[in-house]
């Protein structure tokens, strides 16, 4: 009986090990909400700069744990949340490790942007370059050259647009923003025109006055001296008599 029990125990342990291995082997790959119709790859991966040459080493994920596994030890990422639908892709470039996080809506991206900027301001990290591009929150870690890292971020293009099937719920806000912007521009243009007109009028008045003075001075210098004193002694009060 002890031998039978030991054999059964060994079989159970072996089955558990193989089952766990099989489950990990069959663990589904992260699924993107938007995939390419050509090759089935997530569209986010194709937004990497020089995608053809760096896609092989790219890591795509939809979970915070996957992000921590792909890029560990980055304190700026600890404050970020991953609501449903959030995706990321990371790849190693000569300029540093690039990370792009895409949120499903601008509000989540803006909220993450505020947390990131607050963290960078309170705890600056050498070699970290960050920029928000559309709904992308893009990072370059361990960048040896900040200018090169910014150039790499400049190659990222957010090419998605939002189209409402019905009435746009944000149209009033956009109209309000448009009116405020237009009013501001009109006020600034009006002030600039008025100030420019006053400056131009003053300069023109000075120029005309100077020309008129020089003309009268030249004309006075060419006049013949005249006196009505009749040969008598006369005080030269007007400066015209010799």
Confidence of residue 202 (pLDDT cuts 50, 70, 90): very high
Given a cut of 60, whether residue 187 has pLDDT beyond it is yes
Picking from 162, 183, 202, the residue at the C-terminal end of a domain is 162
The verdict on 132 and 187 lying in the same domain is: no
CA distances in angstroms from 215 to 82, 114, 152, 202, 210, listed in the order given: 80, 67, 65, 20, 9
Q: Are residues 138 and 204 in the same domain?
A: no
Domain presence at residue 17: no
Domain co-membership, 80 together with 108 = yes
Predicted confidence (pLDDT) at residue 167 exceeds the cutoff of 80: no
In what order do the strands lie in the sheet containing 96-102? 59-61, 87-93, 96-102, 136-141, 129-133
Mean pLDDT of the chain: 79
Shared domain check, 156 and 37: yes
Number of structural domains found in the chain: 2
pTM of the model: 0.55
- At 89 the pLDDT is 92
Instruction: Judge whether 103 lies within some domain.
Output: yes
* Mean pLDDT calculated for residue range 131-156: 91
Alpha helices in the chain (DSSP H): 2-25, 43-46, 51-54, 64-70, 106-122, 146-154, 171-221
Same domain, 118 and 204: no
Same domain, 38 and 133: yes
Identify the residue with better confidence: 170 or 116.
116
| Alpha helices (runs of H) in 123-170, residue ranges in sequence order | 146-154
CA atoms of 98 and 169, how far apart (whole Å): 35
* One domain, residues 100 and 189: no
| pLDDT of the residue at 165 | 63
Q: Which among 128, 144, 162 is the end of a domain? A: 162
CB crowding 68-99: b at 16 or more within 10 Å, else e = eebbeebebbeebebeeebbbbbbebebbbbb
The answer to the question of residue 18 being in a domain is no
Between 23 and 219, the higher pLDDT residue: 219
CB 100 within 8 A of CB 138: yes
Q: Are residues 182 and 66 in the same domain?
A: no
Is there a domain that residue 137 lies in? yes
What pLDDT shows up at residue 10?
Answer: 55
Last residue of a domain, one of 122, 137, 162: 162
* Same domain, yes or no: 54 and 82: yes
**Is the same domain home to 91 and 195?**
no
Residue 129 structural domain = 27-162
Domain shared by 98 and 126, yes or no:
yes
Same domain, 119 and 69: yes
Q: Is the pLDDT of residue 1 over 60?
A: no
């Amino acid at each position: 009986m002890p031998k039978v029990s030991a054999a059964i125990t060994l079989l159970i342990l072996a089955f558990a090990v193989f089952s766990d291995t099989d489950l990990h082997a069959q663990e589904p790959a992260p699924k993107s909400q938007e995939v390419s119709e050509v090759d089935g790859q997530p569209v986010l991966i194709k937004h990497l700069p020089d995608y053809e040459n760096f896609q092989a080493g790219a890591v795509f994920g939809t979970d915070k744990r996957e992000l921590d596994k792909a890029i560990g030890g980055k304190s700026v990422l600890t404050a970020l949340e991953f609501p449903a639908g959030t995706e990321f892709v990371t790849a190693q470039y000569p300029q540093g490790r690039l990370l792009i996080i895409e949120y499903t809506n601008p509000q989540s991206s803006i909220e993450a942007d505020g947390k990131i900027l607050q963290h960078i301001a309170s705890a600056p990290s050498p070699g970290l370059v960050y920029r928000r591009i559309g709904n992308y929150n893009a990072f370059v870690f361990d960048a040896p050259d900040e200018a090169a890292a910014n150039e790499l971020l400049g190659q990222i293009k957010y090419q998605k647009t939002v189209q409402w099937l019905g009435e746009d719920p944000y149209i009033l806000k956009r109209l309000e923003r448009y009116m405020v912007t237009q009013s501001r521009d009109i006020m600034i243009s009006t002030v600039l025109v008025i100030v420019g007109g006053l400056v131009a009028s003053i300069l023109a008045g000075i120029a005309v006055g100077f020309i008129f003075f020089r003309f009268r001075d030249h004309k006075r210098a060419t006049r013949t001296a005249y006196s009505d004193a009749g040969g008598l002694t006369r005080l030269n009060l007007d400066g015209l008599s010799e």
